[in-house]
Structure formats: C-alpha cells, structure tokens
Structure 1
Amino acid sequence: MQQHDICILGAGPGGATAALHLANKGIRSVLLDKAVFPRDKVCGDALSGKVVNELKRIDPSMPAMLGEQQTQLPSWGIHFISPAGHKLSVPFKHNYDPAQDIPSGYISKRIDFDNFLIEQVRQRPEITLLEGMDMAKIERTDQGFSLTDKSGGHQFSTRLLIAANGAHSSFARQTAGIKQESDHYCAGLRAYYKNVSGLDKDNFIELHFLKDFLPGYFWIFPLPGGYANVGVGMLSETVSQKKVNLKKEMLRMIESHPEFKQRFAGAELMGYIKGYGLPLGSKKRVISGDNYMLVGDAASLIDPFTGEGISNAMISGRWAAAQAELCLQEKNFSSGFMQGYDKAVYNRLWKELKLSRRMQRLLDYPWLFNQVASKASKNQALAETISCMFTDLDLRERLKQPSFYLKLIFN
C-alpha cells in the first residue's frame, strides 16, 4: 500500500494541469492513468485562447514551447456557417498578423497535445507519474480513499483524491452522484480525413449548422500535414427522440451536401470514425465532497455551444490544486471546506456556461440564426461586435436580450 497526501486519477489536461500547479507549489502528488502515453483521445482537437492562457499560468514559456511543436497548427479564428449558408467569421484577435503575432489558439491532435503536457510532468520530481494503472476499486477509508488496480498488485492510499478520469468516470457516478442526463449530454463522432479542400489559409476552424441536421452541428478543423478533424455533435436528447444515426448522417452530409461533396471529392478517410460523449456544463453540479474533487469532463464542464472541454478541464485543474494546498495547510478535507473549490470553478465558468447554453438554444430558431449571420456577413461593424461577444462576457449578455434581435431584424 503506497500512501500519498494527493492522488490524481487521470493524466489528461485536467489531471496533468493539477499536478503541475501542485508541483509549482512544492507539493508532491501521484498521477495515475490507465493508458500509457502517448495515447489517443477522441476530441475535436482545437485549443482555444483559454488553453493558451492556462499554459501561461503553469509556465510563461509553455505557449511558445507548444508553438514550436511540429504537431500543431496556429489557428486564428472560427467560421460559423448558418443553415442558409451565411458565413460569420470570428477571429480570435482583431487586425491579426499571422507573420508577426503570437497565435491566440492552436489545433493539435489530442495524442500530441496530451503527450506535450505529460512531457512537462515527466520533468517534475514532485510528480510520480504511473502509467498503465487501471484502477478497478476505489473505496472510502477513515483517512480518505484507497485505490486498487485490476491486477490487485498496486494499492494506493490518499487523503485527497482528484478525479480527472473523464466523461465515463465511475467515481463521478458512483461516489459523487453525477448522473448522465440526455438534455445535458452531447453525442459526438470524430474522424480524420486527408486532402479536404477549401481549408482556411489562417486555419480558422469551421462549425456548420445545416438546416437538415439541427440542432446538431458539423465541424471541420484543419491539422498539420494536410489532415483535418471532421465530426458531428448533437444533444443526446435529440439523438434519442429523433432516432438519429450520427454516423449515417455524417457520411450522408459528406457525400451529398453540395459544398462538402466537392470539398471531400479527393479526400481520404484515415482510420475509423469514432464516437464519444460530452457531459455538458449546462447545469450546476456539486463537484466535490469529503476528501475528493472532480475535474474536467468528470465534473461535466464542457461548453454547451462550442463543445470545448480542454480549457475548462485545465481551469478546474488549477483551482483543484489551489484548494488542495488549502486542505493540506488547514488539515481539513471535509465536504464543507471543499466547497471553496466548487465556488472558485463556478465563479470563473458559470456565467460563460450559462450564456453558451442560451446560445445553444438559439439553434431551435434557425431563421434567427440565419438573420444574424446574413446581416453580419454584410456589415463589418456588426461582425466585429458579434466577434467580441465570444470573448467578452458582458457583450455576450446581449445575445439573450430580445431587443438585440429586434434591432437586427428591423434595421
């Protein structure tokens, strides 16, 4: 039985970030993962400006280190394509110069980005990284938790467990009581294609909202080496109600949609189409308890509108490390004391998640989406205002005010 003050279960972005912040504080931790890195993770592979900011918080040199990796592309924005085909382009930074400016976002396969973080973990003596550890049993003890792997040959005892083991975390379900709710859960598919034509020269990611696939969306994210991450996402509630076969619909759109048919004419599917689930942060949950905290997808913190989860996982990992430091200082691991973690995470993310949920609901009114995109495509000032709404929460508040749309329609 190995004894540790802090055990982190899951070495993805959330868990690795928590471990690195603890290391920066001089606090030791053991970081366990059932996989051996590098390992693949089904994802959209986009790294937003929020990810870049979280890397800076770990180490100011990390964004530059990421930018030097051959496995990434700098991305300068997002194209939203409305059901009527109007394109609303949202740059991450206005008046950007790709030749001189530092990118606000990147696109990198998760197998590469997660391994980039793990390589930073390997360099820290404060972190004990143990790979290939599939924890089959987690039991509460007088002092915290005990963890036992499938073989029974490895046992760990910890006063504080940080569960960062993803969307299918059995600990989150069984101990923390996090339920999978179809109206707060998204089903997604991802595939890698090579030689998709018409990709943006500045590597804008594309989110297509097709009228015969609403309220779902279709994405194309460019990747290095002529590859693209291509996929679809839709609320599980809708998939169930409408009996949607996502794989069949995805292939149908690629083969028959006028634009996609042309762009994928010379493209090749590399490997398989893979599915995954996205637990959305569209509902507040209790994400801590006696001797534990949930981080990232295990805490259901994915953005309801964009599907982004990496940055929110890293943000929650940072706050988990801050709370862990307080727990050790005060020798207090009670659920009441741990509520400081919940408050910190939701103080940072809830306003954003709530507004994204409202924007997600706009997809129920495609005519309104078309109107906004059409006006913005012809009006630079309006396009810039809407662009700012995606980075400025106070401006984004306007999106939930009926007066905003009335002015758009009648002006």
Structure 2
Amino acid sequence: MKTDICILGAGPGGATAALHLANGGHRCLLLDRATFPRDKVCGDALSGKVLSELRRIGEELPARLAAEPIQLPSWGIDFYAPNGRRLAVPFKPRYNPTHDRAAGHISKRIDFDNFLIEEVRRRPEIDFRENTDVARHEPLPGGGWRLLAADDQEIATCKLLLVANGAQSQFARVVGGHELEPAHHCAGLRAYYRGVQGLHPDNFIELHFIKEFLPGYLWVFPLPNGEANVGVGMLTEAVAKKKVKLRERLEEILHTHPALKDRFATAERLGPVRGFGLPLGSKRRPLSGSGYLLLGDAGSLIDPFSGEGISHAMVSGRHAADWAARALVAADVSAGFLKGYDNAVYNRLWQELRLSRGMQRLLGYPALFNFIANRAANNPTLAETISNMFLDLDLRERLRQPSFYLKLLLGK
C-alpha cells in the first residue's frame, strides 16, 4: 500500500499525531504490532499537560475522560523527603474537589491508551491496523520509506514516517542514532497492588525520596477499584555503579521502611513486577532526518525528574502532525526542512527538560531536599509557590533566581 504519511506505534504520541492529522483533513496509516486494548508498563499518571493536549485534539475529550470509570481525579503530589517529612503539593492552590475540574488523573495505560484508540477508530481519515509488526524499514531511492514484515512482505510505502513505537524503537536506535546512554536513561519497575493503606482521600500521587535509595525514588499512585501503581526508578548509570538490584530493593523498602511497611502489611500484589527502561530528555538529541520524525519515547523525551512521558509524547505528536502537513504542502521531506519539527518540540519542552535535569541532580543532595521540605511545610507562601511550579513553568524558573533562596532562608 502507498501512503503519504505512515505512523509507527499507536500509543499517545502516535495516536495524537493521527488525530491532529485527521482534524486537518489529512489521511494517514497508523500501524501497531499489538491489538488494543493492550498494557504498557508505566506510572499511569496523567498530568495537567495531558489534559491540555487532549483539549487541543477535541474540546470535549477531557470531560469525557473525567466521566470514565477507568480513571481517578488527582489533586496533587505528596513528596516525602529523605528525612521522612511530607510535603503536600496540590496541583491547584485552594482546590475544591466538589466543584473544580481535576487538574490531573490516574489511569492504567491499558485503559487510557485505549481511550485514545477509541477516538482514532471514529475517524475515517485514519487507516488503523493492529497486529501489524514492522520488522524492517528501507529508505526508497526517491525518498520515503518501505516497511516490511518479518517474512519480507511489503506492508506499506510512505513519503514520511512518524516513528512513535516506544523506548525500544529499533528505528530510533539504528536510523535516528539514539543509543542507550546510562547517564540519560532510567531503569524502572512497576507492580499493581490492592489494599494499600493510607492513600490520600483526594488521590494525591506519592513520591518517596528515601535516603538509602537515592538517587532513585519510589512512587505510589492510587488507581480505580482500590488498586495502586507502585514502583521504583533510578538512573541506569547509578544502578550499574552501585550494583543495585531493583526488584530486591523494592520488596525490601515496602516491607521494612517505617513509612511504608504498615501500609503494605496486608496489601496484595496483583500480577508480576515488570521492568521498563526510560530514555530521558536530559540530553538534546536530533528528532528528525530525511523522511522521518521521532515522537515521544522514541525521541527520548521523557522528563528526567518525574519520569513522566505521556504529555511529552502528545506534545511531540501534535507538532509532528503539523510538520508532516507542512512537508506535504511544500513537497519537501528533506532533513533540512524537517528540522523545523525539532525546533518546535524543543521550543516547547527544552526549558522544562533542562530544569528537570537540574532537579534530578538534586537527588544527590538529600540535605537540600530535607531543607526545602522543612521550610515549605512551615511557610504557606513558599508551599503555594512550589505548588504553582507544577502548573506554570515561569514560576519554576524561580528555582534559578537568588531571591527565591533568600526567601527560603528567611522563611517568608
């Protein structure tokens, strides 16, 4: 089959690109090797940026998601400093869960990704083919790509290939040059539990920065039906250097740490502990080349501090659709022209990725974490400032200003 635009991978990045192309009246071929609904190992948190990107696809989508039983509304984050101090950071200051729209949600990826796919299925402009495994890709002499199955049967040819097939993307590695770099890669584990005690009544997600586990962290995210997503993440470089056995450490922390052992004493693990790798956006890498664009995890766009990648995948999907449409109008899929996509994505995300990289480095200084947590817990103005940082990037810039630390020291 011949097509102008082919998208590899129907996760949030690929689905978002397809939906924006459909909104613009452009047809595309969307391929995924799985059959939906399908699971993906993830933390399952949907930030406010995800809701913003949903709204850009269709104004009604955030409300439709909020009405689904597949999700829980989440109103903030509980940070646990290395000294055990809890710092509650609402996503929205002075929120009212009875009247306000939720600033975030938590939903298993098997459900959220399928939510997007159900929207894809409604669009006649999108030729969506599941259970289609692209084993090889060949550049065509006149430009574009030929996609082949394992038996060398041709699946499709296209002028422009949008690569959104995840962190293990062979295309991103071989063609895009995104090699695994331990200093810019995170190793993670995730498990589902039922019966975890002490979850926040407003479904705050929990991030535990445990002194003995730094520079890694542990998370507990509440889910529908009394379940919770529980996992750990640590920079791959640190895992190798410290010879950390993540599975053993996860079990040990849950059953021995003073803040967690009672909460997990009667909890039941549902299914296996599953591992995954996260290519982090802590290094600026090329996102395009002749006839292709890299999206989401395939473009190494995961937040270095939080490990969040869904919203960044959706941001890149939106810009990929825009630049794919521009390339077709200009009849130009050259590497030079498509560099505009790189600029668009990094103009939106690079400042945030850079700041998150700095916050990631602070994990090596537990005393500073403790200091900030202690000050914020006793200073409503400072706590509100930190809260706003999760909604307003300009406020997060205060971390780089001396006046911020002066206020911190004076406790004002």
TM-score strictly above 0.5: yes
Which residue of the partner structure matches residue 379 of structure 2? Answer: 379
Which residue of the partner structure matches residue 49 of structure 2? Answer: 50
Which residue of the partner structure matches residue 290 of structure 2? Answer: 290
Which residue of the partner structure matches residue 35 of structure 2? Answer: 36
After the TM superposition, which of the residue ranges 135-144 and 204-213 deviates more from structure 2?
Answer: 135-144
Which residue of the partner structure matches residue 133 of structure 2? Answer: 134
Q: Deviations over 1:115-136 (max 9, x none)?
A: 0000000010000001111111
In the TM superposition, residue 154 of structure 1 has moved relative to its aligned partner by: 4.3
Which residue of the partner structure matches residue 300 of structure 1? Answer: 300
Q: Does residue 333 of the first structure (1) align with residue 338 of the second (2)?
A: no
Mapped to 2, the partners of 1:183 and 1:143 lie a distance apart of 35
Mapped to 2, the partners of 1:371 and 1:104 lie a distance apart of 28
SS at match of 2:158: strand
Which residue of the partner structure matches residue 215 of structure 1? Answer: 215
Matches within 5 A, 1:157-236: 157-236=157-236
Which residue of the partner structure matches residue 408 of structure 1? Answer: 408
Residue pair 2:4, 2:159 contacting (<8 A) in 1 also: yes
Which residue of the partner structure matches residue 27 of structure 1? Answer: 26
Mapped to 2, the partners of 1:402 and 1:304 lie a distance apart of 24
SS at match of 2:260: helix
Which residue of the partner structure matches residue 4 of structure 1? Answer: 3
In the TM superposition, residue 68 of structure 1 has moved relative to its aligned partner by: 1.4
Which residue of the partner structure matches residue 242 of structure 1? Answer: 242
Q: Which amino acid aligns with 2:109?
A: R
Residue pair 2:8, 2:31 contacting (<8 A) in 1 also: yes
In the TM superposition, residue 33 of structure 1 has moved relative to its aligned partner by: 0.4
Q: Which amino acid aligns with 2:197?
A: S
Mapped to 2, the partners of 1:354 and 1:64 lie a distance apart of 32
Mapped to 2, the partners of 1:51 and 1:218 lie a distance apart of 22
Mapped to 2, the partners of 1:186 and 1:403 lie a distance apart of 33
In the TM superposition, residue 45 of structure 1 has moved relative to its aligned partner by: 0.1
Q: Which amino acid aligns with 1:6?
A: I
Mapped to 1, the partners of 2:124 and 2:311 lie a distance apart of 25
After the TM superposition, which of the residue ranges 386-395 and 72-81 deviates more from structure 2?
Answer: 386-395
Mapped to 1, the partners of 2:131 and 2:176 lie a distance apart of 24
SS at match of 2:192: strand
In the TM superposition, residue 403 of structure 1 has moved relative to its aligned partner by: 5.5
Mapped to 2, the partners of 1:191 and 1:76 lie a distance apart of 23
SS at match of 2:3: strand
Which residue of the partner structure matches residue 311 of structure 2? Answer: 311
Change over 3 Å in CA distance of 1:263–1:207 after alignment to 2: same
Q: Deviations over 1:1-20 (max 9, x none)?
A: x1000000000000000000
Q: Does residue 256 of the first structure (1) align with residue 266 of the second (2)?
A: no
Q: Does residue 349 of the first structure (1) align with residue 311 of the second (2)?
A: no
- Aligned-pair Cα RMSD in Å: 1.1
Mapped to 2, the partners of 1:381 and 1:82 lie a distance apart of 19
In the TM superposition, residue 410 of structure 1 has moved relative to its aligned partner by: 5.3
SS at match of 1:374: helix
Mapped to 1, the partners of 2:24 and 2:60 lie a distance apart of 18
Q: Deviations over 1:238-275 (max 9, x none)?
A: 00000000000000000101121100011000000000
Q: Deviations over 1:124-154 (max 9, x none)?
A: 0000001111111100002310001124344
In the TM superposition, residue 394 of structure 1 has moved relative to its aligned partner by: 2.1
Residue pair 2:35, 2:131 contacting (<8 A) in 1 also: yes
Q: Does residue 70 of the first structure (1) align with residue 69 of the second (2)?
A: yes
Q: Which amino acid aligns with 1:281?
A: G
Which residue of the partner structure matches residue 266 of structure 1? Answer: 266
In the TM superposition, residue 93 of structure 1 has moved relative to its aligned partner by: 1.1
Report the TM-score when normalising by structure 2: 0.98
Q: Deviations over 1:145-188 (max 9, x none)?
A: 00011243442100000000000000001011111110100000
Q: Does residue 103 of the first structure (1) align with residue 102 of the second (2)?
A: yes
Report the TM-score when normalising by structure 1: 0.98
Which residue of the partner structure matches residue 58 of structure 2? Answer: 59
Unaligned runs of 5+ in 2: none
In the TM superposition, residue 49 of structure 1 has moved relative to its aligned partner by: 0.2
Residue pair 2:92, 2:387 contacting (<8 A) in 1 also: no
Q: Which amino acid aligns with 1:149?
A: A
Change over 3 Å in CA distance of 1:401–1:243 after alignment to 2: farther
Identity of aligned residues (%): 61
After the TM superposition, which of the residue ranges 184-193 and 400-409 deviates more from structure 2?
Answer: 400-409
Q: Which amino acid aligns with 2:295?
A: V
Mapped to 1, the partners of 2:80 and 2:256 lie a distance apart of 17
Mapped to 2, the partners of 1:81 and 1:134 lie a distance apart of 42
After the TM superposition, which of the residue ranges 391-400 and 357-366 deviates more from structure 2?
Answer: 391-400
Mapped to 2, the partners of 1:325 and 1:68 lie a distance apart of 33
Q: Which amino acid aligns with 2:135?
A: A
Q: Which amino acid aligns with 2:117?
A: I
Mapped to 2, the partners of 1:136 and 1:339 lie a distance apart of 26
